[in-house]
Each structure stands twice: as structure tokens, then as C-alpha cells.
Chains A and B, each alone.
Chain A
């Protein structure tokens, strides 16, 4: 006899290194959302990072070693979900390329890639979630993180789900789809240019006059929050999953405990 328990898709959370290290609350929000969508959530505890810093720095050997590790830990699940378009994009779009020239591993990486999704688009597209049970009385603006938008087509899903949050009003900013200037190691290698780009982004955010800035990638969020806070802005910054899960108890990104 089949129980409802076994009918739920076995879904592994790839929490991403930034959420793991900087903002565990996003991970718990993701777990809550996945469970609400009917998933059986698993968290392989051997996970570290997707390898993107090495990949984008031209270090193929380390990328490959890390990618193998991720695939081995995650390939047995029905779905692999990450609360980040950037890391999900790495797993889904780049892993098969990492193994170019090794047909056996490439096939394995391709099969693995087929299971990978970014969190919010997974909820909407794969699990058919049309609304969430959450309340957040605020005017919010949403930044489209680049990889999620352009590699994975994440754009309408977060906006649709946010529209179902009670009390939340979404105000679009100008150039919502333009990069925030984070770019992973780019922000470290070219801090002045990164700063100029995030300066433009912060101005566009401010111009929309929101209470809350949301996005689906913690790297972008830390960059934008860092800039807004340095400029003394009162706008609160959160990962979109926190709002969708109704888990806004933790202080916003870059804010201390009150």
C-alpha cells in the first residue's frame, strides 16, 4: 500500500554556501516552502559549495572535483532545489560542460542537471504552487538576479507568488533586470567597478520607494544591502523565500538584532 509519505517527491535542498554560512534562515524558509508544496525534503549534510568560484576563475580541475562530489551526494533524489538562480544555474547549465570530454561523467552530469531547479520557479512550475500562506504588510520591489533570469527563466514566478502574499504590494523598479554588480569574484577583483554598478542599482531601488527589497540570490542581496546600508537607507533587504514562507522574524540582511 502506498502511503502519502512515499508519494511525495524526494527533494534535496542544495542550500548554497552563502545561505549556509551567512543566512541559515533562508534555508529554513526554503524547507518550509518545499514541504508546503508537498515535497519530502532532504538535506545532504556533506554539501559545501557548487564550485562556481573555481569555474568562473578558470580553475577546471577544482571545479570538476567539487562537481563530482555534488553529483554523487545529490543524484539519487527526484529533485535538487537551490534557493539561488546562480548556484542552480551552475548545477543545471554548467555541470554538463564541466565534464566535456568525459562522456560517462558528462552523461551523469546531464542526467543530474535535469533534476535541478531554482527554488521559486520549482515551486511554481514543477509543484504547481499558485499562492502562499503568508502575510507581509509592506511595499516591496524585486530584483531579477542575472543567472536566474537569463539562464533559468526566473521572472514571473516570484512575482506571481509574491502577489499572493497578504498585505504585500509589489512596486517595480527601473532596470530590475540589470546586474547589481556582484558577479561573485568580480566584486572582489574589481571593487570600484562593482561599486559603481551597485550604486546605480541602489539608486533604482531607492527611486521605487519600497519598504523592502527582495531577490532570489543571497550574493546579490548582500551586495545591494551592503550598499544601501552604507548609504544609510532604511529599506529592508530579504531573500524572497523568507517572505514567501512567512518567516520574517530574523533581522533583515545587514541589520542587527533589535
Chain B
């Protein structure tokens, strides 16, 4: 997928002007937040579980190599195969190779952000394999040639009218005058169309919410059941997972599982949590004949041991973006790559480079709401600030901003001069703004005054007045 993060500013402006998108985003703002609040309130142990979940992931990350080896050993012992991919290109190659060996023409897919990260769909299409997304949201955006705008609700930027238009355009085998008003009818239509794909696919590709080292198990969590049909019906099941998905044991998985759905959709438990271990067993009447896991690194091993290691605790629940005022304002596509919102603002620069994704960690008010709702207690603002430090060190900050900052800091470090100039400046501004109390336009503050007035200073500084008063009074 092309990295459009450098155009963040333009994309955000376009998003702010898109009335339809703004209507869709309004729903994120209310629904996700209310549902999460209820889900969290239903579990008194939520805070304690967050602490423990963080400890579990930290324990794993400090021993990631060993847990990966243990996991691989268990997968292999139960007849599965583990493939290691250093980067996106290797991962795509491994998947295509497996598809070719199986003579696969149609590949069904459960929702996988790793698949988006490695740009799998376009690659498979180029090589004659047809990927079919089966999560309703993913299916909708695949029909529209779009990318997800949210990591758990990929089509959250669309309204029902747009979905209806896409179905009408794509499902030409159905009567054009069919009833499509209710969302139920659209879901039923997708169910019908995709059922055939499920039954005819040669390979099923899913992501993984967890990989369990104890048992060599991959876990997917869905509400629709599409992931299950994807991995259950074709001859070959391929799991795409990044290396940090490892948890030690079934019990550790359960700790984090209690946080995941509550943080994501507010459910106490998603409808389907499925643990898969290896291929079809002797006596089984269904299930895949082959079970493959593609373990993707793609820069993550370099995050271990750095100030960005905490990001590897992320379980992709989406709570940070649901609660982010910037995401709520501009939506996911503005971020210009696979991962939007606060988690994307931290992760994207590590995966595509801070030179390209430099806007993302800057486009935050540091309001801290993301960190406060993150089930894994990832210090997202702090890591965004680390990116800003790297940008500052590498002189990736716009020159005029940097000059302004340096000038301000120069004065801030020289209280006497600061005092003289500030006193003078505020007196002048105070006098100029005295009557109206605010400025509708002001040189050097055009960005501010384009949208709002700038309150005028009262005139004189506090310190100046304090000195005078105390000098006179005591």
C-alpha cells in the first residue's frame, strides 16, 4: 500500500470538508465510547487485569526469542508449519508460494491487519490469485477498492447508502429491484454471496489475535464467524501474524482476552474466540489439511529494547482511536497508511520511516485519552513525543517552526531579556486589543485567527505588576 502519510495535512483538510465522512465519524464518537464504558464498568477487576496484561506482555517481550522458539516447536509437533518472514516482501512470497503449490485460484480471508500491512491482496491479484475478504466491513471496502479506516471497523467511514451502491454495482447476478433498504437485507446478501466463496476457496487466510507458546495455538476473535469459515473450509489454512502476538499460556491469553472485547466493542466476550492448533487430525471430518503460520517481523525485532518496545504490547482493540479527538475529526484514511489513530502515530513511523510518517506523531494534542483507555497501558503520547525528538534531532521539523521554537527558548532561558520583551509586547498588544478584548486577525498568528479570535492580553505581565505591587506594599 502506498504511504500517503506525507500528505496528512491535505488529507485531513479534505476529510474535514467531507460531510458524509463527518456524519460517519460522529457515530464513532458516541457509540464506541459508550459501549466501552459499559463493558469496562461490568468488570471490577478491569484495572487489575490491565496491570497484569501489561506485565505478561513485558515478560514475553524480554524473552521474545525464546517464546517464539517454544511456539514454533509446539506448532511443528502438532503437524503445522511455521514460516519466518523478515519483511513484507518475504511474507507475500511465502503466501503466494503456498497458494501456488495448492493450485489456489480463490483465497478467502478473515480480517487481518498484517495482510494490509504487507499489501497482500494487490500482490495476490497481480499473480492470478483472487483474494476475497469475508469480514463484512472488509468485504465492503474491497468492493470499493479502499483500505480500512479503522483497525476493527474497517468500513466505519461509510454510510449505508454507500454500502448499498457498492452491493448494487458488484452483485449484478441479483435482481436489480431487490429490497435493500434495511441493513439486515445487506447483511443477508453478503452472507449469500460469501457463502459460495467459503465453500469454493482453496486457501483460507486469517490473522491472529494471539499465538500461544504453551500449545502452538493461534487464536482469532470475531463476531461474524467469517474467520471460522475461512479457516475451517479450505484445504489450507494460513495464519498471518506478527512476532509480538505471542503469549506464554492459555491462562495468559485469557487475561488479555478479558480486556480485548470490552475495550474494542464493549462486549464482555466476542461471539467467536477460536483456538486453532495444527491441521486436521485423524478421524476429523472437517478442518484444513495443512496449517501454516507466517511469522512477520517487518521491523519489530528492532523495536525490542528501544523506547518503542511498549508499542509491541498493542492488541489492536482500537480504543485509542475511538477516543482520539484527532481521529474523531479526520478519520482513519487521513493517516495515510494501514494503522490510524494514536497507535498508528507510534507504529507507522517505525514501519515506514519517520521521514514519511512524521506528521502522525505530531498530529496529537497529547490529551492523553488514548493512554487512559489503552487496555495494555501503552504510553502512547510519550512514544509520540519520542518520535518528535527523533524528528528534531534529524532536522525533520519545518525550519520556520524550529527557528521560532529556538528563539522562544533563547528568551525563556534569559529571564531578564524575556521580562523586558514580554512586558513590552504585552503592553502593546494589550493596548491594541483593549477595546474589543480580542483580535480577529493578527500577523504571525494567522493559523489561529483563521478559525477563532485571539483573546487580547490584559496588558502588562503578572510578574511586572507583582514586582511593582510588592515593591510599593512591602
Q: Is the CB of A56 within 8 A of B460?
A: no
- Judge if B389 is at the interface, Cβ distance under 8 Å: yes
- Tell which of A27, A60, A178, A194 touches B466, judged by Cβ atoms closer than 8 Å: A27
Interface residues on A, range: 35 or more
- Judge if B144 is at the interface, Cβ distance under 8 Å: no
* Cβ contacts under 8 Å, A147 to chain B: 366, 368
The answer for the CA separation of A65 and B454 in the assembled complex, in Å, is: 30
Q: Is the CB of A56 within 8 A of B366?
A: yes
The 3 A-B residue pairs with the shortest CB-CB distance in the complex, in nearest-first order: A183-B365, A58-B388, A58-B392
- The A interface is mostly helix, strand or loop, or mixed, namely helix
B404 to chain A, nearest CB (A): 9
- Judge if A1 is at the interface, Cβ distance under 8 Å: no
Among residues of B, the one whose C-beta sits closest to the C-beta of A227 is B452
Among B130-138, B206-214, B236-244, B410-418, the one that faces the other chain is B410-418
- Tell which of B330, B437, B448 touches A187, judged by Cβ atoms closer than 8 Å: B448
The answer for the CA separation of A158 and B390 in the assembled complex, in Å, is: 38
One digit per residue, 1 when the CB lies within 8 angstroms of any chain B CB and 0 when it does not, for chain A 168-210 equals: 0000000001110111111111111111111010000000000
* Cβ contacts under 8 Å, A230 to chain B: 440, 451-453
The answer for the CA separation of A190 and B436 in the assembled complex, in Å, is: 26
Among residues of B, the one whose C-beta sits closest to the C-beta of A18 is B457
- Judge if A38 is at the interface, Cβ distance under 8 Å: no
21 contacts between A and B (CB under 8 A): A17-B412, A24-B461, A28-B462, A45-B415, A45-B463, A45-B466, A51-B409, A53-B408, A55-B385, A59-B389, A60-B392, A65-B413, A150-B371, A151-B368, A178-B369, A189-B362, A190-B363, A222-B454, A227-B451, A256-B456, A257-B435
Q: Is the CB of A19 within 8 A of B462?
A: yes
Q: Is the CB of B461 within 8 A of A21?
A: yes
- Judge if B364 is at the interface, Cβ distance under 8 Å: yes
* Cβ contacts under 8 Å, B397 to chain A: 57-58
Given A59-B405, A62-B406, 16 further pairs, Cβ under 8 A: A24-B460, A47-B415, A51-B409, A54-B405, A57-B392, A57-B397, A58-B391, A191-B451, A192-B451, A197-B328, A225-B453, A226-B452, A227-B453, A230-B451, A256-B435, A256-B438
B389 to chain A, nearest CB (A): 4
- Judge if B9 is at the interface, Cβ distance under 8 Å: yes
- Judge if A66 is at the interface, Cβ distance under 8 Å: yes
- Judge if B465 is at the interface, Cβ distance under 8 Å: yes
Q: Is the CB of A15 within 8 A of B463?
A: yes
One digit per residue, 1 when the CB lies within 8 angstroms of any chain A CB and 0 when it does not, for chain B 295-327 equals: 000000000000000000000000000000110
* Cβ contacts under 8 Å, A196 to chain B: 16, 329-330
Q: Is the CB of B434 within 8 A of A69?
A: no
One digit per residue, 1 when the CB lies within 8 angstroms of any chain A CB and 0 when it does not, for chain B 345-388 equals: 00000000000000000111111110110000000001001011
Q: How many A-B residue pairs have CB under 8 A?
A: 220
Among residues of A, the one whose C-beta sits closest to the C-beta of B323 is A178
- Judge if B393 is at the interface, Cβ distance under 8 Å: yes
The answer for the CA separation of A151 and B330 in the assembled complex, in Å, is: 26
Interface centre among A51, A56, A250 (most CB of B within 10 A): A56
Interface centre among B368, B405, B447, B458 (most CB of A within 10 A): B458
Q: Is the CB of A43 within 8 A of B466?
A: yes
* Cβ contacts under 8 Å, A184 to chain B: 365-366
The answer for the CA separation of A150 and B419 in the assembled complex, in Å, is: 32
The answer for the CA separation of A186 and B422 in the assembled complex, in Å, is: 22
- Judge if B59 is at the interface, Cβ distance under 8 Å: no
Beyond A45-B466, A254-B453, whether A56 also contacts B388 by CB under 8 A is yes
Chain A interface residues (CB < 8 Å from chain B): 15, 17, 19-28, 43, 45-49, 51, 53-60, 62, 65-66, 69, 97, 146-147, 150-151, 177-179, 181-198, 200, 222-223, 225-227, 229-230, 250-257
Interface residues on B, range: 35 or more
Among residues of A, the one whose C-beta sits closest to the C-beta of B464 is A24
Q: Is the CB of A146 within 8 A of B440?
A: no
- Judge if B23 is at the interface, Cβ distance under 8 Å: no
- Judge if B56 is at the interface, Cβ distance under 8 Å: no
B461 to chain A, nearest CB (A): 5
The answer for the CA separation of A30 and B288 in the assembled complex, in Å, is: 70
Among residues of B, the one whose C-beta sits closest to the C-beta of A255 is B437
Beyond A256-B436, A256-B437, whether A146 also contacts B369 by CB under 8 A is yes
* Cβ contacts under 8 Å, A24 to chain B: 458, 460-462, 465
Among residues of B, the one whose C-beta sits closest to the C-beta of A22 is B457
* Cβ contacts under 8 Å, A28 to chain B: 462, 465
A225 to chain B, nearest CB (A): 5
Q: Is the CB of B461 within 8 A of A48?
A: no
- Judge if B20 is at the interface, Cβ distance under 8 Å: no
- Tell which of B389, B391, B435, B457 touches A21, judged by Cβ atoms closer than 8 Å: B457
Among residues of A, the one whose C-beta sits closest to the C-beta of B418 is A48
* Cβ contacts under 8 Å, B393 to chain A: 58
Q: Is the CB of A193 within 8 A of B462?
A: no
- Tell which of A26, A47, A59, A254 touches B438, judged by Cβ atoms closer than 8 Å: A254
- Judge if B467 is at the interface, Cβ distance under 8 Å: yes
Q: Is the CB of A191 within 8 A of B447?
A: yes
* Cβ contacts under 8 Å, B433 to chain A: 256
Q: Is the CB of A22 within 8 A of B455?
A: yes
Among residues of B, the one whose C-beta sits closest to the C-beta of A30 is B462
* Cβ contacts under 8 Å, A150 to chain B: 367-369, 371-372
Beyond A24-B461, A183-B366, whether A192 also contacts B16 by CB under 8 A is yes
Beyond A23-B457, A66-B413, whether A57 also contacts B436 by CB under 8 A is no
The answer for the CA separation of A103 and B2 in the assembled complex, in Å, is: 44
Interface centre among A45, A184, A200 (most CB of B within 10 A): A45
Interface centre among A24, A51, A182 (most CB of B within 10 A): A24
- Judge if B188 is at the interface, Cβ distance under 8 Å: no
- Judge if B12 is at the interface, Cβ distance under 8 Å: yes
- Judge if B426 is at the interface, Cβ distance under 8 Å: yes
